[in-house]
Amino acid sequence: MNLTLKVWRQKNAQTAGKFVSYKAENISPDMSFLEMLDVVNESLTHKGDEPINFDHDCREGICGMCSLYINGHPHGPKRGITTCQLHMRTFHDGETITIEPWRAEAFPIVKDLAVDRSAFDRIQQAGGYVSVNTGGVPDGNAIPIPKVIADEAFNSATCIGCGACVAACKNASAMLFVSAKITQLGLLPQGQPERYRRVQSMVAQMDEEGFGSCTNTGACEAECPKEIKLTNIARMNNDYFSAKLFREEEVHEQGH
Amino acid sequence: MTLDAKIPQGPLAEKWSKHKFDLKLVNPANKRKYDIIIVGTGLAGASAAATLGELGYNVKAFCFQDSPRRAHSIAAQGGINAAKNYQNDGDSVFRLFYDTIKGGDYRAREANVHRLAEVSVNIIDQCVAQGVPFAREYGGLLDNRSFGGSQVSRTFYARGQTGQQLLLGAYSALNRQIHAGKVKMYTRHEMLDVVTIDGHAKGIVTRNMLTGAIDTHAGHAVLLCTGGYSNVFYLSTNAIGSNVTAAWRAHKRGAFFGNPCYTQIHPTCIPVTGDHQSKLTLMSESLRNDGRVWAPKTAEIAEQLRKGTLKADQVKEDDRDYFLERKYPAFGNLVPRDVASRNAKEMVEEGKGVGGSGFAVFLDFADAIKRLGEETVKAKYGNLFDMYYQITNENPYKQPMRIYPAVHYTMGGLWVDYNLSTTVPGLYALGECNFSDHGANRLGASALMQGLSDGYFVIPYTLGDYLAKIGPKKVDTNHPAFEKTKQDVIAHVNKLLSLKGTKTTNEYHRELGHIMWEYCGMARTEEGLKKAKGLIQALKADFWKNAIVTGENEEVNASLERAGRVADFIELGELMIDDALMRKESCGGHFRVESQTPDGEALRDDENFAFVAAWEFKGENQPEELHKEQLTFEAVHLSQRNYA
């Protein structure tokens, strides 16, 4: 296949960016999207030009490092997969493909197609855990958990932190991401002692990072490569309002 | 120097308990006077950073990814072993120990492996307490499944993404310590050297991958948790970024490298489709619980399958050779990885390979779907089947998967003693980065166990002993050793940036991978290894003349990052060849064609090779010096492995 790429190039967050067109030639339908970009980068390198910078690592859909807004969709046109799992057989010969970075104020550009998602880490640091030290914990089977609850918690826990939900959202809201962790721990017995502190701390950090609010459009759910459900946000809102109404004193102390 | 593994005295089962009591402690008020540097935030690094932070040490943690959560432990699929015996099927600490020693073809240290089996039970408890959503039975208790090389069900799992869930557990514990101010996290930082003062590790030099800044960091100890080096083969199941640079630079500063040639070729990966391939994808070993491995009985049928004139499901039962079940009736499809891989290779060499390239055999779920129903199979392996479908465009519910072995894990790594200390005092290696617990072949679901064992339950004890002995005197980056090492790093970076030749570093990497796979892969011969050594030396010389590195240091520069890693892989490749040449026996994943049983199994030579090879760097382009740590076995009897 031969394709035309319109790629966003931007030196860093301080410099203005622009679209640059490239030819991607002799592309095999069995290539992954990132392997197609590898081919383009190899030819740029041979010419002494600077290769296109993009984030990627595991290339099997689990590390959450890859991103890319492809033809108007985070992780491309197919549902339930990341960019690294997208294969070129999805496209047709002669097509023009537009590739942009995630666009959100809370995700500043690093270079070209890579963005800074450290805001996600800071939200997790604010309370996305069960406060147990290593050692001194009960036997694993001393905490029975109904299978249906364990499975539901697992579904939320599969979030890979890629940021597609934010990129898809017209408000650049991070609520699907935040609610997935809150739901996972909120469903499990281990997460109960800190349930209402956690939701307040994480939501406060989310707001501080400059993410927008949820207006229930559902684009995040539609574009999430791990198909995290919108019901996570409903659970988070429920816990959040319950906490704000009745348990506001239970917040994580700074430096706790 | 003579190697001292510092294995505690006393009966095997009491060594660790006794050792823990003998180790010196650092009192709680003094812990805050110590600074610990941890490189890598996978299972070993994140668990160590969190635990040491909880204990009160000041931790600086580094990773090259944009978040600690992305370390490659995240991609582990199948599960984690623990000797809980929840299934009442005869498991015990001793059995897990025994299976691991045997699975490693008697090339691991007994004392380490026993400790690993002992603490395995604590790991599960810890992860459950963190909220890791392991698979459960309807009664609410934890579920288990079986894995290769064992006849009990001791593997805990979270669907096909156990590594992800365990890593997110360790990441959450790490986050808690970051929030508490006990761990300072440096993302997008790559470690480029170790700083030593009077022979002790006292810090590191890093490159900030956003700005190019070369910085020094001081600490009382340095922990390398930087994973394995499978990417020396170019194509492997590792993440693209996984590399040997931190371990290799430490090696050049005095840390011996243990058993570099021990690499694991995983039997069930998705076959290569073409030259564009950038990595390989694993299909979890857990699939062999229900999938049956087969190849056509004759080369003629295989030929028809390759041409597409015959479909897999049209091959009659009588024309199928379930070769693992046939040759190893006791373990069947669940033989260890090295055995399964070699058998698949044999089928291909006999002309019975399938798929377009002929480099594949089948992994068939038709029986399991008939027996259990599609829904049950989906619940167990759904995400793996989806992944297979995305990559191959073939539906594994309807036709058998095509699989072929691929490089997956490296048992070799930095040599460490019982305390996980390298030969450089103050420099430790944890997880896949060290050589310690898997001998010549790792059993499935044991990598996660080892990473977390080292990080949560071993290093917090053994490190304290070293720190108590050296005392809390502040280490300062003003010491001239820091500036000197920093200048070395800057010179190396500048040398790389000066390369403006004709071949990309990716092309060199691919060439290196071809050499390693061809001559130092699933089967190794003296002749082939000697040839490979010459090829690698030529490749290295050519690299430093003709490679292209674009851009400059003071920016995000993937080309520069890649170049440094490839240069180190080339040097490591040569050492692997030396190690494979030296070890004339076959053992586990190291198969020397000259040393095999009449049935074609790996034939060990215990009289001459029951030792750990620890290589010492002697200077650029100098042959490395071999040191031997003799392995002694008290609890197990050495025998030819037999899975039939």
Nearest to A147 among B138, B548, B558 (CB): B138
Beta-carbon neighbour count of residue B212 at 10 Å? 16
| Spatial distance between the Cα atoms of B461 and B469, rounded to a whole number of angstroms | 13
**Cβ–Cβ of A124/B241 closer than 8 Å?**
no
The Cα of B108 is separated from the nearest Cα of chain A by a number of Å equal to 27
| pLDDT per position as a tens digit, B516-544 | 999 999 999 999 999 999 999 999 999 99
Nearest CA in chain B to A201: B179
Rounded alpha-carbon distances, angstroms, from residue B521 to A44, A193, A241, B565: 32, 51, 59, 20
Please identify which residue in the block is written with the tokens 């609610």: A179
Calculated CA dihedral for residues B255, B258, B262, B268, nearest 10 degrees: -60
B278 touches chain A (CB under 8 A): yes
B179 touches chain A (CB under 8 A): yes
**Cβ–Cβ of B140/A144 closer than 8 Å?**
yes
B130 to chain A: which residues are within 8 Å by CB? 129-130, 132, 190
| Spatial distance between the Cα atoms of B184 and B178, rounded to a whole number of angstroms | 6
**Cβ–Cβ of A42/B550 closer than 8 Å?**
no
User: What is the pLDDT at residue B599?
Assistant: 83
Please identify which residue in the block is written with the tokens 């660790």: B16
| Spatial distance between the Cα atoms of A183 and A149, rounded to a whole number of angstroms | 11
Rounded alpha-carbon distances, angstroms, from residue B631 to A121, A180, B91: 44, 49, 26
SS3 B597: coil
Rounded alpha-carbon distances, angstroms, from residue B232 to B410, B536, B582: 10, 12, 19
| Spatial distance between the Cα atoms of B545 and B418, rounded to a whole number of angstroms | 42
**Which contacts qualify for B476-479: CB closer than 8 Å, 24 or more apart?**
B476/B218, B477/B203, B477/B216, B477/B217, B477/B218, B479/B197, B479/B202, B479/B218
Angle, vertex CA B351, rays to CA B345 and CA B353, nearest 5 = 60
Give the model's confidence band at B209: pLDDT under 50 very low, under 70 low, under 90 confident, else very high. Answer: very high
Cβ(B383)–Cβ(B257) below 8 Å:
no
User: What is the pLDDT at residue A253?
Assistant: 56
**Residue B190, φ and ψ in degrees, nearest 5:** -115, 130
**Residue A100, φ and ψ in degrees, nearest 5:** -125, 160
Helices A231-246 & A175-187, crossing angle to 10 degrees? 70
Inter-chain Cβ pairs, chain A and chain B, closer than 8 A: 224
The domains of chain A are located at 3-111, 117-246
| Spatial distance between the Cα atoms of A67 and A83, rounded to a whole number of angstroms | 6
Q: What is the mean pLDDT of chain B?
A: 96
| Spatial distance between the Cα atoms of B213 and B215, rounded to a whole number of angstroms | 6
**Cβ–Cβ of B171/A124 closer than 8 Å?**
yes
The domains of chain B are located at 267-407, 490-605
**Cβ–Cβ of B130/A130 closer than 8 Å?**
yes
Cβ(B194)–Cβ(B209) below 8 Å:
no
* The CATH number of domain A3-111 is 3.10.20.30: yes
Sheet of B257-258: strand order equals: B413-414, B257-258, B611-616, B625-630
Cβ(B200)–Cβ(B216) below 8 Å:
no
Please give the share of chain B, as a percent, with pLDDT higher than 90: 93
**Residue A175, φ and ψ in degrees, nearest 5:** -70, -30
Sheet of B183-186: strand order equals: B183-186, B58-62, B35-39, B221-224, B427-429
Angle, vertex CA A217, rays to CA A119 and CA A240, nearest 5 = 55
- Helix, strand, coil shares, percent, chain B, to 5: 45, 15, 40
The Cα of A107 is separated from the nearest Cα of chain B by a number of Å equal to 12
Nearest to A89 among B185, B276, B393 (CB): B393
Q: Looking at B496-560, which runs of residues are DSSP E strands?
A: 503-504, 547-548
Which of the four CATH numbers 1.20.58.100, 1.10.530.10, 3.40.50.1100, 1.10.15.40 does domain B490-605 have?
1.20.58.100
| pLDDT per position as a tens digit, B274-285 | 889 999 999 988
Cβ(A229)–Cβ(A220) below 8 Å:
no
For domain B267-407, give the fold. Flavocytochrome C3; Chain A, domain 1 (3.90.700)
**Cβ–Cβ of B173/A129 closer than 8 Å?**
yes
Q: Which of A28, A87, A89, A134 to mutate to test the interface with B (most CBs of B within 10 A)?
A: A134
Interface of B with A in 353-412 (CB under 8 A): 386-387, 390-391, 393
User: What is the pLDDT at residue B275?
Assistant: 87
Q: Is the pLDDT of residue A53 over 90?
A: yes
Nearest to B51 among A55, A134, A158 (CB): A134
Report strand pairing: B221-224 vs B35-39. parallel
Return the CATH number of the domain spanning residue range A117-246: 1.10.1060.10
| Residue A40, amino acid | V
Give the count of alpha carbons within 13 A of B65, CB side only: 27
The Cα of B600 is separated from the nearest Cα of chain A by a number of Å equal to 34
| Spatial distance between the Cα atoms of B505 and B68, rounded to a whole number of angstroms | 26
The Cα of B125 is separated from the nearest Cα of chain A by a number of Å equal to 4
Nearest to B506 among A28, A42, A132 (CB): A42
Per the structure block, which two tokens stand in for B215? 């910085």
Nearest to B175 among A80, A129, A140 (CB): A129
| Spatial distance between the Cα atoms of B334 and B331, rounded to a whole number of angstroms | 5
Nearest CA in chain B to A115: B66
**Cβ–Cβ of A62/B161 closer than 8 Å?**
yes
Angle, vertex CA A168, rays to CA A165 and CA A169, nearest 5 = 85
Per the structure block, which two tokens stand in for B374? 């599609």
pTM for this predicted structure:
0.97
| Spatial distance between the Cα atoms of A74 and A224, rounded to a whole number of angstroms | 8
Report strand pairing: B183-186 vs B200-208. unpaired
| H or E segment and range at residue B288 | none
| Spatial distance between the Cα atoms of B342 and B492, rounded to a whole number of angstroms | 40
User: What is the pLDDT at residue A40?
Assistant: 98
Give the model's confidence band at A256: pLDDT under 50 very low, under 70 low, under 90 confident, else very high. Answer: very low
A45 to chain B: which residues are within 8 Å by CB? 504, 506, 548, 550, 559
The 3-state secondary structure of A157-185, one letter per residue: HCCCCCCHHHHHCCCCECHHHHHHHHHHH
Region B438-450: mean pLDDT is: 96
End-to-end CA distance of chain B: 43
Beta-carbon neighbour count of residue B90 at 10 Å? 9
**Cβ–Cβ of A111/B176 closer than 8 Å?**
no
Interface of B with A in 280-309 (CB under 8 A): 281-282
How is residue B213 annotated by DSSP? Answer: -
| Spatial distance between the Cα atoms of B134 and B148, rounded to a whole number of angstroms | 20
Q: Of A72, A78, A35, give the one whose Cα is nearest residue A54.
A: A35
Per the structure block, which two tokens stand in for B22? 């003998």
Report strand pairing: A3-9 vs A18-24. antiparallel
Q: Of A31, A20, A116, give the one whose Cα is nearest residue A67.
A: A116
| pLDDT per position as a tens digit, B30-83 | 999 999 999 999 999 999 999 999 999 999 999 999 999 999 999 999 899 999
**Cβ–Cβ of A51/B133 closer than 8 Å?**
no
B558 touches chain A (CB under 8 A): yes
| pLDDT per position as a tens digit, B129-186 | 999 999 999 999 999 998 877 889 999 999 889 999 999 999 999 999 999 999 999 9
User: What is the pLDDT at residue A22?
Assistant: 98
A163 to chain B: which residues are within 8 Å by CB? none
| Spatial distance between the Cα atoms of B14 and B479, rounded to a whole number of angstroms | 42
Nearest to B550 among A50, A61, A89 (CB): A50
Cβ neighbours for B335, distance < 8 A, ≥ 6 positions apart: B148, B149, B324, B328, B343, B643
**Cβ–Cβ of B387/A147 closer than 8 Å?**
no
Active-site residue list of B: 337
Cβ(B257)–Cβ(B224) below 8 Å:
no
Tell me whether domains A3-111 and A117-246 share a fold. no
B185 to chain A: which residues are within 8 Å by CB? 121
**Cβ–Cβ of A117/B67 closer than 8 Å?**
yes
Cβ(A2)–Cβ(A36) below 8 Å:
no
B551 to chain A: which residues are within 8 Å by CB? 50
Q: Is the pLDDT of residue B273 over 90?
A: no
Give the model's confidence band at B356: pLDDT under 50 very low, under 70 low, under 90 confident, else very high. Answer: confident
SS3 B254: coil
Q: Which of B119, B179, B284, B496 to mutate to test the interface with A (most CBs of A within 10 A)?
A: B179
What is the secondary structure of chain A as a DSSP string?
--EEEEEEE-SSTTS--EEEEEEE-S--TTSBHHHHHHHHHHHHHHTTPPPPP----SSSS-S-----EETTEET-SSTT--GGG-BGGGS-TT-EEEEE----TTS-EEETTEE--HHHHHHHHTT-S----SS----GGGS---HHHHHHHHHHHT-----HHHHH-TT-B-HHHHHHHHHHHHHSGGGGGGHHHHHHHHHHHHHHTT-B---S--HHHHH-TT---THHHHHHHHHHHHHHHH-TT--PPTT-
Give the model's confidence band at A255: pLDDT under 50 very low, under 70 low, under 90 confident, else very high. Answer: very low
Q: Of A159, A173, A243, give the one whose Cα is nearest residue A215.
A: A173
Interface of B with A in 446-505 (CB under 8 A): 456-457, 460, 500, 502, 504
User: What is the pLDDT at residue A252?
Assistant: 57
B239 touches chain A (CB under 8 A): yes
Report strand pairing: B625-630 vs B611-616. antiparallel
| pLDDT per position as a tens digit, B563-612 | 999 999 999 999 999 999 999 999 999 999 999 998 888 999 999 999 99
The Cα of B141 is separated from the nearest Cα of chain A by a number of Å equal to 5
The Cα of B257 is separated from the nearest Cα of chain A by a number of Å equal to 26
Please identify which residue in the block is written with the tokens 């190039």: A9
**Cβ–Cβ of B172/A129 closer than 8 Å?**
yes
| H or E segment and range at residue B10 | none
